Amino acid sequence: MLHVLAQQDPGELQKGLTAIGRGIVYGGAAIGPGIGIGLVVASAITAMARQPESSGAVRTTMFLGIAFTEALALFGFVLAFIISG
Amino acid sequence: MTHVLAIDFPPISHLIEWPSGPLGINKVVVLMWLSVILVFGLMFAGSRKKALVPVGVQNLAESAVDFIHNGIILETIGPDGMGYAPLLFTMFTFIFALNIWEIVPFAQMPVNARIALPLLLALLVWFIYNIVGIIKQGFFGYFKTAMFPPGVPWPLYILVSPIELVQIIIVRPLSQSVRLFANMLAGHLLLTSFAIITASLWSLSLLIVIWPASFALLVALTAFEVLVSFLQAFIFTILTAVYIGGSMHPDH
């Protein structure tokens, strides 16, 4: 499983650049949804703490909000696989 | 020192593509058939003996139906959406059974990590909510209420209407299928990565001190993927209910 990379050739460089591009694509796509999901969950927790009797409805809406926000990060995840060197 | 230690990670195609037999039947298709049999068998066994106090399989089946009724339909569509309970119940249990293969030993392949089935389910949902909307509101009424939501200042309709039209035609099925697919693929790759790392560290003498941490994380992630499997089935079903509810009651 572990082996040693000693040599380097032009094909390796292109592979490395592709890998860096994939990392940037997914990393960039994860910034906004990360903040967004944090906001959604923070507001949901505040709402549940203020009105514990409405936590059922809040939880359902929270999952919906997470699902819509998370979609952007997942598009980035899929796009990172579509990029090929 | 120019040497870099690297872990040999197999290409993605080795992880999600399987050799296929006659008619293109491969591991993923067999797992899909098994989940159909599993869900049907469990629900059939749960509905045979209608005891007043449910135990065992009947308890499981009744809690699942109750969850669909109270947790999904009443929260999103309302009492008049009870007619969609068979659709949503089948969708939820089937997707959960497809996802849970991710952590079953010797199967360890979520069927939804290939986009074919999520896309088919999302297209089914697309047909259902569009047809329900056209039947309930008429063809032009459906597109009018979808494209011109009330309470928006009229110059904004230049911006809002194309977005809403693209959303109900393309974005909803695309995001619904990609959400399920990408979550399952990501979970599969996560578990594979940690399994490879754990196996690599076991054979290496120096780094074995961090092997317990890697193994513990693998176990924890396996438990986390159970949660993700359930949550993705729940989210797919509740989004279906929300789309159908939006077609039935255009005002909110």
- Residue pLDDT, tens place only, A21-76: 889 999 999 999 999 999 999 999 999 999 999 888 888 889 888 888 888 888 88
Q: Tell if the CB–CB gap between B203 and A1 is shorter than 8 Å.
A: yes
Q: Tell if the CB–CB gap between A81 and B6 is shorter than 8 Å.
A: no
Q: Which residue of B has its CA nearest to A72?
A: B175
Cβ neighbours for A29, distance < 8 A, ≥ 6 positions apart: A72, A73, A75, A76, A77, A79, A80
ipTM score of complex: 0.74
Spatial CA neighbour of B71 closest among B187, B230, B179: B230
Q: Is residue B19 part of a domain?
A: yes
Q: How far is A19 from chain B (nearest CA, A)?
A: 13
Q: Is residue B4 part of a domain?
A: no
Task: Provide, as residue numbers in chain B, all residues whose Cβ is less than 8 Å from the Cβ of A67.
Answer: 179, 235, 239
- Cα separation of A31 and A35, whole Å? 7
Which of B5, B182, B239 is opposite residue A2, by nearest beta carbon? B5
Of chain B, the percentage scoring pLDDT greater than 70 comes to 96
Is the predicted pLDDT of residue B251 greater than 50, yes or no? yes
- Cα separation of B87 and B101, whole Å? 22
Q: Is residue B130 part of a domain?
A: yes
pLDDT band at A5; cut points 50, 70, 90: low
The first and second tokens of residue B93, run together, are 């249990």
DSSP B198-241: HHHHHH-SGGGGGHHHHHHHHHHHHHHHHHHHHHHHHHHHHHHH
Q: Which of residues 42-81 of A touch B (CB under 8 A)?
A: 56-57, 60, 63-64, 66-68, 70-71, 74-75, 77-78, 81
Task: Provide, as residue numbers in chain A, all residues whose Cβ is less than 8 Å from the Cβ of B8.
Answer: 1-3
Cβ neighbours for A30, distance < 8 A, ≥ 6 positions apart: A73, A76
Q: Is residue B116 part of a domain?
A: yes
pTM beyond cutoff 0.80: yes
Task: Provide, as residue numbers in chain A, all residues whose Cβ is less than 8 Å from the Cβ of B235.
Answer: 63-64, 66-67
Structural domain for B244, as ranges: 12-248
The pLDDT of residue B93: 93
- Give the CA distances from residue B92 to residues B34, B39, B121, B145, B236, in Å, rounded to whole numbers and listed in that order: 16, 10, 11, 29, 8
Of chain A, the percentage scoring pLDDT greater than 70 comes to 88
Mean pLDDT, residues B48-72? 84
Q: Is residue B2 part of a domain?
A: no
Q: Is residue B7 part of a domain?
A: no
Q: Which of residues B108 and B207 earns the better pLDDT score?
A: B108
pLDDT band at B2; cut points 50, 70, 90: very low
Size of interface A-B (CB pairs under 8 A): 64
- Cα separation of B59 and B65, whole Å? 10
For residue range B128-174, list pLDDT tens digits in order. Answer: 999 999 998 888 888 888 888 888 888 888 888 888 888 888 989 99
Is the predicted pLDDT of residue B4 greater than 50, yes or no? no
pLDDT band at A6; cut points 50, 70, 90: low
Of chain B, the percentage scoring pLDDT greater than 90 comes to 37
Q: Which of residues A82 and A2 earns the better pLDDT score?
A: A82
Q: Is residue B139 part of a domain?
A: yes
- Cα separation of B126 and B244, whole Å? 9
For residue range B80-100, list pLDDT tens digits in order. Answer: 888 999 999 999 999 999 999
Spatial CA neighbour of B71 closest among B38, B81, A42: B81
Helix axes A55-82, A10-50, angle to 10 degrees: 170
Q: Tell if the CB–CB gap between A60 and B238 is shorter than 8 Å.
A: yes
The pLDDT of residue A1: 46
Q: What angle do CA B174, B184, B130 make, to 5 degrees?
A: 25
Q: How far is B187 from chain A (nearest CA, A)?
A: 12
Q: Tell if the CB–CB gap between A74 and B179 is shorter than 8 Å.
A: yes
Choice among A68-77, B4-13, B143-152, B217-226 with the minimum mean pLDDT: B4-13
Q: How many Å is the maximal CA-CA distance in chain B?
A: 73
Q: Which of residues B131 and A10 earns the better pLDDT score?
A: B131
Q: Which residue of B has its CA nearest to A54?
A: B75
Q: How many domains does chain B have?
A: 1
> Which domains does chain A possess?
26-82 (1.20.20.10)
The pLDDT of residue B84: 92
The pLDDT of residue A15: 83
The pLDDT of residue A84: 73
Instruction: Return the SS3 of A4.
Output: strand
The first and second tokens of residue B95, run together, are 């997707």
Q: Is residue B6 part of a domain?
A: no
The pLDDT of residue B18: 82
